[in-house]
Amino acid sequence: MPDSINTHRRRILLGGSAALAAGMLPLSAFAADPIKVGLIVPMSGPFASTGRQIEAAVKLYQQKYGDTVAGRKVEILLKDDGGLSPDVTKRLAQELVSRDKVQVLAGFGLTPLALAAAPIATQAKVPMIVTAAATSIIPQRSPFIVRTGFTLPQVTAPLASWAAKNKIKSVVTFVSDYGPGIDAEKVFVKTFTDAGGKVVESLRAPLRNPDYAPFLQRVKDAKPEALFVFVPSGEGAAVLKQFTERGLAAAGIRLICTGDVLDDDLMASIGAASNGVVSSHHYSAAHPSPLNKEYVDGIAKANKGMRANFHSVGGYDGMHLLYEALKKTNGDTDGEKLIAAMKGMSWESVRGPVTLDAAARDMVQNVYIRKAELRGSEYYNVEFDQVEKFKDPGV
């Protein structure tokens, strides 16, 4: 019998006229219990846009597909971890599992936060749907982790190949100094160098309270043909501001970056500084499909015009993965059964076709090369090339 049902029975037993109830309650009575999902995201602090986007997507999903699946209501317990402290995320995950009895954990805005919660998922045998954090190694930290976002190696390798093919010969890399940044740096350097390019210098800025000005001054002095950048979602506008103010573009240095830097949520504040910048990512709000148009319109309409970004899509597809898995298990929330039901699942996402790789528990998906262009009165990352069904290559 699944753990969840056992636990529930135990509670009934403790609750009163027990033997009779335990013997006679039909399964459908258990099935009527809500399924609780602990959604831990930054809703405050420097990465609050990640939480806002994921929350909006989860709400839109439930609005569209209902809050009930396989006869059970899906209840979301939203927790703000502030985005910066692994201890806070870990405590919230622990409380959600032991006090609130959630059957699923989801969210996780940044790598250190996802890594801190991984042992809790393993101990409690609770699926942990990582919708945002993107360092390659994360799913290896627990057999209960599945990831509906992307990895930095996955989006960086295609850009490094594109740069080499497009006659860029010398590059300085510049990343945030933690998991995803180090992944991006390593993969860019290897892929670009293997293709005959030269990495002149590799710079790393601190994640907390970064001052990008001195780094960009150094890049200007090094005079590479291009600068490759990864900073996490939320930080891109500050980098673009310094890139412009220090006159790097004017000095003939070309900016290339992962889509995290030109996050759709930030494009309005970055504005013309993004014009012509080539980036790579698994999602753009400008992805030309009817499904995506409907999605972008839905997010905007329900959230005062907010433009959907890639973190929202990770959240939306995380809900899809959970709902479809619950259909397969007939509402059984046993962690091992849910993970087994999720492995290998394919669907048409608003980003394009995706599959949750059964072995890696990561998305296999298209990675798009895009160029920032003015569309109407706003800048968008317009896809012009793609690597299809691309797996995380690791580091």
Measure Cα distances from 88 to 95, 116, 209 in Å.
11, 9, 19
Q: For the range 298-302, what are the long-range contacts, defined as Cβ-Cβ under 8 Å and sequence gap of 24 or more?
A: 298/60, 298/63, 298/64, 299/56, 299/57, 299/60, 302/56, 302/59, 302/60, 302/63
Stretch of residues binding ligand PHB (CB under 6 A), selected from 76-84, 129-137, 242-250, 359-367: 129-137
Binding track over 210-229 against ligand PHB, x by CB under 6 A: --------------------
What is the distance between the terminal CA atoms of the chain, rounded to a whole angstrom?
A: 40
Give 191 or 233: the residue with its C-beta nearer to ligand PHB.
Answer: 233
Q: Among residues 156, 233, 274, 279, which is the contact residue for ligand PHB, using CB under 6 A?
A: 233
Give 236 or 331: the residue with its C-beta nearer to ligand PHB.
Answer: 236
Paired with 69 in beta bridges are: 72
Give 111 or 349: the residue with its C-beta nearer to ligand PHB.
Answer: 111
Paired with 201 in beta bridges are: 172
The answer to whether residues 365 and 351 touch, using CB atoms and an 8 Å cutoff, is: yes
CA triple 73-77-80, angle to 5 deg: 160
Q: Among residues 39, 69, 133, 205, which is the contact residue for ligand PHB, using CB under 6 A?
A: 133
Give 220 or 228: the residue with its C-beta nearer to ligand PHB.
Answer: 228
Q: Among residues 49, 53, 89, 135, which is the contact residue for ligand PHB, using CB under 6 A?
A: 135
Measure Cα distances from 218 to 68, 204, 212 in Å.
55, 12, 10
Q: Among residues 51, 83, 232, 315, which is the contact residue for ligand PHB, using CB under 6 A?
A: 232
Give 197 or 259: the residue with its C-beta nearer to ligand PHB.
Answer: 259
Helix (H) or strand (E) holding 90: helix 86-98
SS3 for 388?
A: strand
Residue nearest to ligand PHB (CB): 232
Stretch of residues binding ligand PHB (CB under 6 A), selected from 9-17, 132-140, 346-354, 378-386: 132-140
Binding track over 237-276 against ligand PHB, x by CB under 6 A: -----------------------x----------------
Stretch of residues binding ligand PHB (CB under 6 A), selected from 75-83, 127-135, 237-245, 286-294: 127-135
Cβ of residue 136: shortest distance to ligand PHB, in angstroms? 10
Binding track over 173-202 against ligand PHB, x by CB under 6 A: ------xx----------------------
Residue 312's Cβ-count burial label (10 Å; 0-12, 13-18, 19+) is buried
CA triple 11-66-355, angle to 5 deg: 95
Q: Among residues 89, 111, 242, 279, which is the contact residue for ligand PHB, using CB under 6 A?
A: 111
Look up residue 19 and give its amino acid: A
Stretch of residues binding ligand PHB (CB under 6 A), selected from 59-67, 131-139, 196-204, 280-288: 131-139
The answer to whether residues 352 and 289 touch, using CB atoms and an 8 Å cutoff, is: yes
Helix (H) or strand (E) holding 53: helix 48-65
Q: Among residues 110, 145, 159, 313, which is the contact residue for ligand PHB, using CB under 6 A?
A: 110
Residues that bind ligand PHB (CB under 6 A): 110-111, 133-135, 179-180, 232-233, 260
